[in-house]
Amino acid sequence: DQQVKQNSPSLSVQEGRISILNCDYTNSMFDYFLWYKKYPAEGPTFLISISSIKDKNEDGRFTVFLNKSAKHLSLHIVPSQPGDSAVYFCAAGGGGSNYKLTFGKGTLLTVNP
């Protein structure tokens, strides 16, 4: 049972436009959510997170929105840059006695110059 779903394996956008990456989850016990970015031949790097008590968190060009009732979160990148081209993983955690992050399968973002 996949608890964190990223239904779009890939996304292509033009430089300067907005990129929107989506993530759905099924476990209502999750209480924090993170986005990671991964370049080829490197480990994932933390991008931005949000707690379940918030509905928005912003960091520069990156904004994460959380809709708890829909069990949906999204990452907005504005404006998109070619250097943003990478695989983006959504992750969720909390809600239990153990530390654990559950990851989605990832979305490959390509930003075209």
Partner 1 sequence: EAQVTQNPRYLITVTGKKLTVTCSQNMNHEYMSWYRQDPGLGLRQIYYSMNVEVTDKGDVPEGYKVSRKEKRNFPLILESPSPNQTSLYFCASSLNRGNTEAFFGQGTRLTVV
Q: CB of 70: closest distance to partner 1 in angstroms? A: 21
Among 22, 94, 95, 110, binds partner 1 (CB under 8 A): 94
Integer Cα distance of 7 and 107 in angstroms: 8
Integer Cα distance of 78 and 19 in angstroms: 7
Contact range with partner 1 by CB under 8 A, out of 15-23, 29-37, 60-68, 72-80: 29-37
Does residue 65 belong to the site contacting partner 1 (CB under 8 A)?
no
Q: CB of 45: closest distance to partner 1 in angstroms? A: 7
- Per the CB < 8 A criterion, the answer to whether 89 and 42 are in contact is no
Does residue 68 belong to the site contacting partner 1 (CB under 8 A)?
no
Among 20, 95, 103, 110, binds partner 1 (CB under 8 A): 103
- Per the CB < 8 A criterion, the answer to whether 64 and 49 are in contact is yes
Contact range with partner 1 by CB under 8 A, out of 10-18, 22-30, 74-82, 96-104: 96-104
- What's the burial of 109, exposed, middle or buried (CB within 10 Å: 0-12/13-18/19+)? buried
Exposure b/e, 65-83, CB count within 10 A at least 16 = b = bbeeeebebbbbbeebeee
Q: Please report, as ranges, the residues that interact with partner 1 according to CB under 8 A.
A: 6, 31-32, 34, 36, 41-46, 49, 51, 89, 91, 94, 98-106
